[in-house]
Amino acid sequence: MSPTLAIMTVGILVPFIILLVISFWTRDGFGFDTTFTTNNYVRAWSEPIFGALLQRSFWISGVATLVTVLLCYPMAYYVAFHVHRNKMMWIILMTLPFWTSYLLRVFAWKVILGYEGVINSGLMTVGLIDQPLEFLLYSQEAVIITLAHAWAAFAILPLYVSLEKIDKSLLEAATDLGDGPVARFFRITLPLSMPGVIAACFLIFIPTTGDYITPALLGGPDGAMIGNFIQLQFGRVNNWPMGATLSIVLMLWISLIALVFLFITRKAQEKIA
């Protein structure tokens, strides 16, 4: 245990502490001014660009999360309840694309949605349109579609596990006590699979809020997210302390949203019960 723990501590905890420290510094030419100041945080709070970027990031991730979970739930349900043979095959099939390069999957969508991409050139070849549809690429929608597709496997697994765990006799009992399929789903299956739904939401929402590849390749100016901005601070803008501050602010917001989300789902569950 101890070597693993040591590596994880060095790899996770120490960098975070440094990140936190540096976020209270300021840039000084190519070096740092190490006097403690909350200036970066004040800027992050007061300059509207940061707030707007954060808001947009959460909006895009939120919609992508919702879409992914909604689309993956029936699939996970199908495999959990209606696949009897070769279950393993199905699970591998559903999760296989996830293991391939994230960059390439995003790239694939660029190929599809591009100005001269699969959809546009396909539709033009068939003759349905004679001008490429411009809204396909470089839009929030493009980012959302790509994120939903790229993170599907992350949603499927927890959903599947929580559905598979449901004792089938509970579903029979609900039926026996007079529930049709719809009532049974909302009164038994859905509440009992809530842990999976919550896990899926977290597993998608949190990593996607910080994503910068997808918006960089497909987002255009309207689709840029906070991740792109952080990346800029460590790259071209070369303002590391500001980048660190934004990373910390992002983490704090994510934690806050996660807590609120947990609180709401718990309340909702109590209400259903």
Partner 1 sequence: MSSSDAFISIQNVNKFFGSFQAINNVSMDIKQGEFFSLLGASGCGKTTLLRMLAGFESTSSGEIYIDGQPTADVPPHHRPVNMVFQSYAIFPHLNVADNIAYGLRKQRLSKAKRAEMVDEMLELIKLPGYGQRKANELSGGQRQRIALARALILRPKVLLLDEPLGALDKQLREQMQLELRALQRQVGITFVFVTHDQEEALTLSDRIAVMSGGQVLQVDTPSRLYETPRTREVASFIGNMNFFRGTVRRNGSAMGAVEAEGLGHIPVPLENLTKPDGATVQIALRPEKFLLTEHKPDAEFAIQGKVANAAYLGERSHYYVSVDGKEEPIAVSAQNLDRVNGAAAAPMGAPMWLSWSPDAVVVLDAD
Partner 2 sequence: MSDHGTYIKRPNRPLQIYAVIFLIVLYVPVLFIPLFSFNESIYVRFPLEGFTFRWYRELWTREPVWNALFNSIKVGACVAVISTILGVIAARAITRYRMPGKSALVTFIMMPLVIPGIIFGVALLVLLSRMGIPLTLYTVGLGHLIVCLPFAVATLLPRFEGFDPSMEEASADLGENGWWTFWRVTFPMVFPGVVASLLLTFTISFDEFIMAFFLTGTDPTLPMYIWGQLRFPQEFPSVLALSSLILFVSFILVFFAQWVGRMGLDEQNQEAL
Applying the rule CB under 8 A, the residues between 199 and 228 that interact with partner 2 are: 202-203, 206-213, 217, 227
Residues 243-262 that bind partner 2 (CB under 8 A): 243-244, 247, 250-251, 254
- Contacts of 123-131 spanning 24+ positions with Cβ under 8 A: none
Of residues 49-108, which lie at the interface with partner 2 (CB under 8 A)?
Answer: 71, 74-75, 77-79, 81-82, 84, 87-88, 91-97, 99-105, 107-108
Q: Which residue has the tokens 């030419």?
A: 29
Enter the DSSP assignment of 24: T
Long-range contacts of 182-188 (CB under 8 A, 24+ apart): 187/272
Residue 226 near residue 53, CB atoms below 8 Å? yes
C-alpha 138: how far from chain center = 19
Tokens 């699970």 -> residue: 91
Choice from 97, 117, 132, 191 touching partner 1 (CB under 8 A)? 191
236 binds, among partner 1, partner 2, none (CB under 5 to 8 A by kind): none
Which of 174, 197, 213, 226 forms a contact with partner 1 (CB under 8 A)? 174
Contact 190, 104 (CB under 8 A): no
Residue whose CB is less far from partner 1, 177 or 264: 177
Nearer Cβ to partner 2, position 71 or 271?
71
Name which of residues 143 to 172 contact partner 2 (CB under 8 A).
149, 152, 168-169, 171-172
The 10 Å Cβ neighbour count of residue 55 is 13
Cβ closest to partner 2, residue 4 vs residue 271 = 4
DSSP 89-115: HHHHHHHHHHHS-HHHHHHHHHHHHST
Interface ranges with partner 1 (CB under 8 A): 167, 169-170, 172-180, 183, 187-188, 191-192, 269, 273
